[in-house]
Amino acid sequence: MPPKTLIVKDDWERRLHEVQVSKDDLNRLIMDYLVIEGYKSAAEEFSAEANVQSPVDFDSIESRMVIREALQRGDVEEAITRVNDLNPEILDTNRGLYFHLQQQRLIELIRRGRTREALQFAQEELAPRGEESPEFLGELERTMALLAFDCGPGSNTNAPSSISELLSPAQRMKTAGEVNAAILESLSQGKEVKLVQLLKLLSWGETMLGERADFPRINFEEILDGPKEKALE
């Protein structure tokens, strides 16, 4: 295996400075971030100040955020209603998303100790979907296991983490993220922030280059925390 090429810091920084990125490209990246993350007011202000067109209607940004907030507080019924008001085809054409919303409704019933209602809801709404689509059956069984471990309000459950995690805020966030992605897709908008995609690409590129050369790597932790000394090691 040939020895690695050594790229000294001064040469590396010179090469970085030679890369030209247009202001328009940067503005579009910022707008993409504001739109996907749901910062409506900031997106409106940035659009006016930087003269950048939003890829979606600003009202749709607010609608997505209202839906996300409803799911994060456990109000699945309101979220479903608002998704249908926005575009009824989203749930009509996405069986997996609709199942996960109904699964979240079941989780919320169990969380509130409404056992009888949870059993009836599971039998009437979720069990038939599990029979039609075996891929959902495992998720339904895992959710129903919450009842076996007494995961109602105020209880100290001894359920395995794979089951008790369904009651965590992360589960609500996961469902909200899936809904948000489906809405964005219905608007022909990307589901992932382009800045995140670029960071993943940069990480891959560094890995590939690292197999052939020694070079100053970018310290992203220092960049995110704010300028301390230098981002380059």
Q: Tens of pLDDT along 171-192? A: 999 999 999 999 988 887 777 7
Model confidence pLDDT, tens digit, residues 80-90? 999 999 899 99
Span 30-34, mean pLDDT?
A: 89
Band of the pLDDT at 227, cuts 50, 70, 90? very low
pLDDT of residue 164: 85
Buried b (16+ CB within 10 A) or exposed e, 11-27: eeeeeeeeeeeeeeeeb
| Domain positions in the chain | 59-188
**What stretches of 87-165 show up as alpha helix (H) in DSSP?**
89-92, 95-111, 115-121, 127-132, 137-148, 161-164
CA distance 78 to 95: 19
Q: Which tokens in the block code for residue 56?
A: 């979606």
Average model confidence (pLDDT) across the chain: 84
pLDDT of residue 109: 93
Band of the pLDDT at 232, cuts 50, 70, 90? very low
Q: Which tokens in the block code for residue 93?
A: 């054409």
Span 146-175, mean pLDDT?
A: 80
Model confidence pLDDT, tens digit, residues 69-78? 999 999 999 9
CA proximity to 101, closest of 91, 113, 89: 91
Q: Which tokens in the block code for residue 43?
A: 């997106």
pTM, full prediction: 0.73
pLDDT of residue 231: 40
Band of the pLDDT at 211, cuts 50, 70, 90? confident
